């Protein structure tokens, strides 16, 4: 029975909701997988939410075609994909005889899939110009969690009759990092195409899409796993002193600590072409020596070679520095216009994660499935560092030096146990955190399910903070796509700064 729900200006009709299991004939009765300290670092963090938008020609996008051709193919290929990604069909549980939670699959488990229909125009979501941040929320499914268990992933296929469809994904960060979640979607798309081409079920994956579940590859001689469990209990006590769920043995996502911030906020996409990136890169390098090293010195930096001007700055450093500075300057300008800010009142910090697969000793397989990322932070030595005239060079140097210190396992893991508390302390002191989600290396525009590559890919969960959603440009020209959710006035100021800086 179909049901309807209103979300802002969008009406969503639910056609179906249920579990999609892996094929029974090839599934074991039970399967479990432990969590490593990399996983437990994200135990109660908010889900990562993404939407893939697909346009279809009119003959193939009628409601009948969508419901009777597109949806059955996606459901069938999803089931086949879960044969390879069995943990996704299970749940996070915490056995009474275990000091930490684990992933457990039992025969009959499956991934929650919602089939919905939207009354909104698909093109509304494809534009780069600002739209209400709330609108996208109707296209991503809720990820269930409680004290006793938590879903690993939840999916929603939303149909836009005579236009196309979207695939919304909510994934539990304690089970998947960005590389693992995009590998799953690529595998699903691969099997969807194969089934359409051969007109029969195909279960074989290309080697680069086969997940590796070797959790023993992640060594933990320092007991970081228990440290992170205790960390989440302490954070929970700090944020909600009255909560004492299951004596700390809870798997409930702390949604109240990371809610979607959608009131009076808009979502927009910005493009940095290859030429734009080169222009910013050259501007930074040409002024590299004009910034005093004392302005960018970080006591955590261990590589003295990083003090030398680099032969080239990575696209990651260039993008993050430029966008962060534009956000900071727009935020400060809005505060001044409201009369709420004196000079240098706004303080900023930039946080990011680094893939540790190749940095571990010995290195972890590149197809390792799970979390293998560590978080790091670049903060301002002075309140005005992100907003002064030469802020771009200062911030670029700081990010570059931090990244340069992460080449080894020792550097990549340095300080990860205290990162959350350090961040919380800074936020209490009024520091505004700017984060980054996604990567230009994930290849999200390669996700072709048989109807062409996505028209647009959005990291919806950037609305849970000031976060830069990063992806490669759709046209494959070497540019970068940046997604943001900001206060409407701040977004307008940001847009002006962003485009003026590229002239």
Annotated catalytic sites, by residue? Answer: 173, 448
Structure tokens given for 340 = 């709420």
**Cα-Cα-Cα-Cα dihedral sign, residues 22, 23, 29, 31:** negative
Structure tokens given for 314 = 């990575």
Name the residue with tokens 């490669």.
472
Structure tokens given for 97 = 């005889």
Alpha-carbon span 12 to 4, nearest angstrom? 5
- Greatest CA separation found in the chain? 67
DSSP letter string, 142-172? PPPB-SSEEESEEEEEEEETTTEEEEEEEE-
Alpha-carbon span 426 to 348, nearest angstrom? 9
CA-wise closest residue to 46 among 254, 280, 285, 272: 254
| Cβ atoms within 10 Å of 92's Cβ, excluding its own | 22
Q: CB of 192 within 8 A of CB of 450?
A: yes
Q: CB of 12 within 8 A of CB of 127?
A: no
**Which strands, in side-by-side order, build the sheet including 91-93?**
30-34, 102-106, 91-93, 149-151
- Residue 368 is given by DSSP the state B
């Amino acid at each position: 029975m179909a049901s309807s729900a209103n979300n802002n200006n969008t009406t969503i009709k639910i056609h179906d909701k249920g579990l999609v299991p892996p094929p029974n004939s090839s599934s074991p009765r039970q399967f479990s997988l432990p969590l490593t300290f990399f996983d437990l670092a994200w135990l109660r963090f908010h889900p990562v939410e993404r939407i893939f938008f697909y346009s279809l020609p009119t003959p193939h996008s009628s409601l009948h075609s969508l419901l009777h051709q597109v949806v059955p193919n996606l459901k069938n290929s999803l089931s086949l994909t879960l044969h390879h990604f069995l943990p996704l069909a299970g749940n996070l549980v915490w056995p009474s005889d275990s000091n930490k939670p684990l992933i457990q699959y039992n025969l009959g488990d499956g991934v929650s899939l919602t089939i919905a229909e939207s009354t909104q125009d698909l093109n509304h979501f494809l534009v780069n110009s600002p739209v209400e941040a709330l609108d996208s929320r109707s296209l991503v499914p809720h990820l269930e969690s409680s004290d006793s268990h938590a879903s690993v992933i939840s999916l929603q296929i939303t149909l836009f009759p005579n236009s196309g469809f979207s695939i919304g994904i909510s994934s539990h960060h304690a089970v998947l990092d960005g590389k693992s979640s995009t590998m799953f979607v690529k595998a699903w798309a691969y099997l969807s195409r194969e089934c359409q081409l051969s007109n029969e079920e195909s279960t074989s994956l290309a080697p680069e899409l086969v997940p590796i579940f070797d959790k023993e590859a992640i060594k933990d001689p320092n007991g970081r796993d228990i440290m992170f469990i205790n960390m989440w209990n302490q954070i929970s006590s700090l944020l909600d002193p009255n909560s004492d769920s299951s004596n700390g043995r809870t798997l409930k996502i702390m949604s109240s600590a990371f809610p979607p911030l959608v009131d009076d906020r808009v979502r927009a996409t910005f493009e940095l072409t290859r030429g734009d990136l080169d222009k910013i890169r050259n501007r930074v390098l040409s002024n590299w020596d004009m910034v005093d090293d004392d302005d960018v010195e970080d006591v955590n930096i261990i590589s003295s070679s990083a003090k030398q001007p680099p032969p080239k700055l990575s696209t990651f450093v260039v993008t993050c520095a430029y966008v962060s500075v534009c956000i900071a300057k727009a935020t400060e300008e809005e505060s001044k216009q409201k009369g709420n800010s004196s000079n240098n009142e706004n303080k900023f910090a930039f946080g990011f994660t680094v893939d540790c697969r190749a940095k571990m000793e010995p290195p972890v397989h590149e197809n390792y499935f799970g979390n293998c990322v560590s978080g790091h932070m670049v903060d301002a030595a002075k309140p005005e560092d992100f907003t002064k005239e030469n802020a771009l060079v200062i911030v670029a140097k700081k990010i570059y030096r931090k990244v340069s210190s992460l080449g080894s396992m020792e550097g990549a893991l340095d300080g990860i146990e205290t990162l959350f508390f350090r961040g919380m302390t800074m936020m209490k002191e009024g520091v505004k955190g700017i984060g980054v989600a996604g990567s230009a290396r994930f290849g999200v525009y390669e996700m072709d399910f048989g109807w062409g590559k996505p028209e647009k890919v959005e990291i919806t969960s950037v609305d849970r903070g000031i976060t830069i959603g990063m992806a490669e440009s759709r046209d494959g020209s070497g540019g970068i796509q940046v997604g943001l959710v900001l206060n409407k006035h701040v977004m307008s100021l940001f847009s002006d700064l962003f485009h003026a800086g590229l002239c």
